[in-house]
């Protein structure tokens, strides 16, 4: 990605390479800081599901870092797959947080007030959606790379 920025010839190529690099840095620092946050907050309960966000960050950061230096298929395809997994796990995590919050307060998710109350519960729904954000940004990068842009 870094070489693609320097090799770009036209204004459009330079703009696309810059935006892709900026998005890649957002995803990379997201993985780094969310991983540190999960470790610092000890986001580990007895269930294996509570460890998923940390493990996503643990592998997501090096994959994203490697994308800075190469966009060859051997790194790009695992990167795209990992971003899709990160996106889906963020969505599933948000759903789990929402359902568990609703269960704690005995609210129905099928009413506006119950949904809003569940969204404000003890388990932060937006925290799980942060991984959805990283995955979406990573997918944008991986899917907008063309096959001839190898650096």
Tell me if 85 is assigned to some domain: yes
Tell me if 10 is assigned to some domain: yes
Question: pLDDT at position 117, please?
Answer: 86
Tell me if 134 is assigned to some domain: yes
pLDDT band at residue 150 under the 50/70/90 scheme = low
Tell me if 61 is assigned to some domain: yes
Tell me if 150 is assigned to some domain: no
Question: pLDDT at position 6, please?
Answer: 85
pLDDT digits (tens, 9 = 90+) for 46-87: 777 778 888 888 999 999 999 999 888 899 999 999 999 999
- Structurally, the chain folds into a number of domains equal to 1
pTM for the model stands at 0.84
Tell me if 107 is assigned to some domain: yes
pLDDT digits (tens, 9 = 90+) for 89-140: 999 999 998 998 888 888 888 888 888 888 887 888 888 898 999 999 999 9
Helix residue ranges, H only, 41-146: 52-67, 73-105, 112-119, 125-144
Q: Which stretch of 18-27, 41-50, 126-135 has the lowest confidence by average pLDDT?
A: 41-50
Tell me if 149 is assigned to some domain: no
User: Interhelix angle for 52-67 vs 125-144, to 10°?
Assistant: 30
Tell me if 151 is assigned to some domain: no
The domain in which residue 108 lies consists of 2-144
- Cα–Cα distance between 117 and 146 in angstroms, integer? 44
């Amino acid at each position: 990605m870094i070489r693609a920025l320097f090799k770009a010839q036209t204004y459009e190529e330079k703009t696309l390479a810059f935006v892709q690099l900026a998005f890649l840095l957002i995803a990379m620092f997201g993985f780094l800081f969310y991983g540190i946050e999960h470790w610092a907050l000890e986001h580990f309960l007895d269930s294996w599901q509570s460890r998923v966000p940390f493990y996503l960050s643990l592998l997501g950061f090096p994959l994203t870092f490697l994308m800075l230096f190469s966009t060859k298929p051997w790194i790009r395809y695992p990167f795209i797959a990992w971003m899709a997994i990160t996106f889906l796990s963020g969505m599933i995590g948000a759903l789990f947080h929402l359902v568990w919050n609703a269960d704690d307060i005995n609210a129905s998710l099928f009413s506006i007030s119950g949904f809003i109350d569940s969204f404000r519960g003890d388990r932060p729904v937006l925290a799980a959606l942060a991984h959805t954000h990283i995955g979406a940004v990573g997918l944008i990068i991986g899917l907008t790379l063309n096959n001839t842009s190898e650096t």
